[in-house]
């Protein structure tokens, strides 16, 4: 990763966060030189993207197919009513540029597939997985492990949110935790935007920490949040030596 020099505008914009101990101007330069892939920028990924854009990340690669629908608007904060029927990836890019015109955005109007996964991961320093389909999640997990890139897993359901960070060869990968896709995964499930947003904010903070070396990331730890009762717990998770994705590493 390069560490570009900060401009006067950068110094003014990020002054408050550069006051955070162990982050400072050096942390800001790292963020400015970093490229992050976010798979799907809906209820989860949209919030991750927004927070990283606000924090001054240099480059975002956003992979999200389809067009904005009314039912997106309870949680997908990068989508707007006036953009219904238009491509989601472009809508997200437009909103992020309004917030941070210095941000470089690669808006990919596709979801992660076998055909594009390697290329999307290659151009990123870190991957953030916010996809609804386990097939997509497993693809990104495989590529992140193969290319030795850190990956952050964000998930939500109803009033539950979960986040963990994967460091290939050191922590469990997604396949270690869930060797097979669930058979019960439903087409539609209940969720509040505030729940996906909470998971997204936690994922964005993990990204900032991993990129800049700040604090203690959720490596080998699954953060489980039950927002119905505001119960947060950290479960220590294990690598699977027989994992079909990372077992030999």
Partner 1 sequence: MKITVEYSAFLKQHTGRAAETVETGGPCTVQELLRGLAARYGEPFHSALLDQNDRLRPVLLLSVNEEQVNWHQPAPLNDGDIVTILSPIAGGVISKKSKPHGRNG
Binding stretches for partner 1 (CB under 8 A): 40-45, 64-66, 69, 71-72, 76, 88, 110-114, 129-137, 154-158, 160, 162, 177-189, 191, 196, 199, 222, 224, 226, 228-229, 233-238
Q: State in angstroms the smallest separation of the CB of 55 from partner 1.
A: 21
Q: Cα separations (Å) of 48 from 55, 89, 237?
A: 11, 14, 24
Picking from 170, 61, 40, the residue whose alpha carbon sits closest to that of residue 120 is 61
**CA quadruple 110, 113, 119, 123: dihedral positive or negative?**
positive
Element spanning 223, H or E: strand 221-226
- Of 122 and 158, CB closest to partner 1: 158
Min dist. Cβ of residue 49 to partner 1 (A):
11
What is the nearest approach in angstroms of partner 1 to the Cβ of residue 33? 27
Q: Rounded to the nearest whole angstrom, what is the least distance from the CB of residue 99 to partner 1 in the complex?
A: 20
User: Please, which residue, 45 or 58, has the CB nearer to partner 1?
Assistant: 45
Q: How far apart are CA 118 and CA 134, in angstroms?
A: 17
Minimum CB distance to partner 1, residue 28 (Å): 28
Burial 167-187 (b: 16+ CB within 10 A, else e): bbeebbbbbbbeeeeeeeeee
Residue 127: beta bridge partners? 37, 151
Identify which of 154, 128, 55, 151 has the alpha carbon closest to the alpha carbon of residue 96: 55
Q: Which is nearer to partner 1, 23 or 138 (CB)?
A: 138
For partner 1, the closer of residues 15 and 235 by Cβ is 235
Q: Using alpha carbons, list the distances in angstroms from residue 124 to 61, 130, 249.
A: 8, 15, 21
Report the residue number, 65 or 106, with the smaller CB distance to partner 1.
65
Which lies closer to partner 1 via its Cβ, residue 89 or residue 103? 89
CB of 109 to partner 1, least distance (A): 9
Q: Which of 2, 41, 27 is nearest to 128 (CA)?
A: 41
Closest distance of CB 217 from partner 1, Å: 17
Half-sphere exposure of 92 (CA within 13 A, CB side): 37
Of residues 30 and 52, the one with the C-beta less far from partner 1: 52
């Amino acid at each position: 990763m390069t560490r570009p020099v900060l401009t006067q505008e950068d110094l003014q914009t990020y002054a408050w966060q550069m006051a955070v101990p162990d982050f400072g101007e050096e942390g800001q330069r790292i963020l400015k030189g970093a490229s992050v892939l976010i798979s799907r920028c809906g209820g989860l990924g949209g919030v991750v993207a927004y927070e990283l854009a606000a924090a001054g990340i240099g480059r975002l690669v956003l992979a999200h197919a389809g067009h904005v629908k009314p039912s997106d608007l309870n949680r997908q904060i990068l989508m707007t009513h006036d953009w219904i029927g238009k491509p989601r990836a472009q809508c997200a890019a437009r909103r992020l540029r309004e917030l941070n015109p210095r941000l470089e955005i690669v808006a990919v109007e596709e979801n992660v597939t076998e055909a594009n996964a390697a290329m999307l991961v290659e151009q990123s320093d870190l991957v953030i997985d916010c996809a609804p389909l386990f097939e997509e999640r497993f693809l990104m997990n495989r590529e992140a492990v193969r290319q030795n890139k850190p990956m952050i897993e964000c998930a939500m359901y109803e009033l539950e949110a979960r986040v963990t960070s994967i460091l290939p060869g050191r922590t469990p990968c997604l396949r270690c935790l869930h060797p097979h896709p669930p058979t019960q995964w439903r087409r539609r499930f209940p969720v509040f935007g505030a729940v996906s947003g909470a998971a997204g904010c936690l994922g964005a903070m993990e990204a900032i920490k991993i990129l800049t070396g700040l604090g203690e990331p959720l490596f080998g730890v699954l953060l489980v949040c039950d927002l119905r009762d505001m119960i947060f717990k950290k479960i220590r998770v294990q690598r699977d030596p027989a994992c079909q994705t990372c077992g030999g590493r």
